[in-house]
Amino acid sequence: AQSVTQPDIHITVSEGASLELRCNYSYGATPYLFWYVQSPGQGLQLLLKYFSGDTLVQGIKGFEAEFKRSQSSFNLRKPSVHWSDAAEYFCAVDSTSGTYKYIFGTGTRLKVLA
Amino acid sequence: DAGVTQSPTHLIKTRGQQVTLRCSPKSGHDTVSWYQQALGQGPQFIFQYYEEEERQRGNFPDRFSGHQFPNYSSELNVNALLLGDSALYLCASSPARFTDTQYFGPGTRLTVL
């Protein structure tokens, strides 16, 4: 069965430091992959997505993610974190590519220290 | 341009009751999906509506049902509420059934006592 694992429940970084959030998936074919961010009281906002092609994907707010097929990973990165990045981050896979029936990971809560 | 809106924001019900949640998609969007997000968990797909029909369904019991109206707005109905139904219910819309971006609303927080 398809699944998405985000091994880090909480991550704390200092403002200005780099960030990497991990995401691993289990899927039989090449999946569609997504990263979303959720701030308190807000809905989910799409940061970036990967369907095919270049394995390094650029998103909004200075985020990027790299798809590594050999590791079944799609890690999210940001070179310099801002205090406003504190939120919960969700990795998701389209359970049957092209149907947008997402399977989400359990999320990583990011805390940013001033 | 308003994004996805949901009502109500919060709702408190007791076990056994029925609840209806509402969603208005983003302008120009005709596909609506519903997700349940329990505390500390990622969202789980409930079902998707397109052309007023349920097109896809996740692993949820028949107590969960929905409807889509001609103006593309949607309702999620849950019957015979259980304590475990307490969650944030998210609605997402997209401009076509097979499109790459879903836009999420802020959600409805349902508490079942």
Ordered structural domains, chain B, with CATH: 5-112 (2.60.40.10)
pLDDT tens by residue, B22-72 = 999 999 899 999 999 999 899 999 999 999 999 889 899 999 999 999 999
**Three-class DSSP category at A28:** coil
Q: What is the rounded CA–CA span in Å between residue A96 and residue B43?
A: 17
pLDDT of amino acid A101: 74
What is the domain range of residue A33? 3-113
Separation in Å, CA A26 to CA A72, A94, B7: 7, 11, 35
**CA of A99 vs chain B CAs: smallest distance (Å):** 6
Q: Do the Cβ atoms of A102 and B43 come within 8 Å?
A: yes
A31 touches chain B (CB under 8 A): no
The nearest alpha carbon in chain B to A41 belongs to B106
Separation in Å, CA B74 to CA A69, B59, B77, B85: 37, 19, 10, 19
Can you read off the two tokens belonging to residue B20? 């209806």
**Does pLDDT of A81 surpass 90?**
yes
pLDDT of amino acid A98: 59
pLDDT of amino acid A16: 97
Closest CA to B43 of A38, A67, A110: A38
* CB nearest B100 (choices: A42, A51, A104): A51
pLDDT of amino acid A48: 95
pLDDT of amino acid A25: 92
Count how many pairs of residues, chain A against chain B, have C-beta atoms within 8 Å.
59
A102 touches chain B (CB under 8 A): yes
pLDDT of amino acid B76: 98
Number of domains forming the structure of chain A: 1
**Three-class DSSP category at A77:** strand
Neighbours of B30 (CB within 10 A): 18
| Backbone dihedral angles phi then psi of residue B34, each to the nearest 5 degrees | -120, 140
**Does pLDDT of A110 surpass 90?**
yes
Question: Residue A107's domain is classified under what CATH number?
Answer: 2.60.40.10
**Does pLDDT of A97 surpass 70?**
no
pLDDT tens by residue, A12-25 = 999 999 999 999 99
A58, A41 Cβ separation under 8 angstroms: no
Mean pLDDT of chain B: 93
Q: Do the Cβ atoms of B42 and A99 come within 8 Å?
A: no
A90, A35 Cβ separation under 8 angstroms: yes
B105 touches chain A (CB under 8 A): yes
Closest CA to B6 of B87, B80, B95, B74: B74
**Does pLDDT of A11 surpass 70?**
yes
pLDDT of amino acid B96: 73
Cβ neighbours of residue A93 under 8 Å, at least 6 residues apart?
Answer: A2, A4, A25, A27, A31, A32, A33, A34, A102, A103
**Does pLDDT of B8 surpass 80?**
yes
pLDDT tens by residue, A30-59 = 788 999 999 987 789 999 999 888 899 999
* CB nearest A100 (choices: B4, B94, B107): B94
A60 touches chain B (CB under 8 A): no
**Does pLDDT of A5 surpass 90?**
yes
Percent of chain A at pLDDT > 70 equals 94
Percent of chain A at pLDDT > 90 equals 71
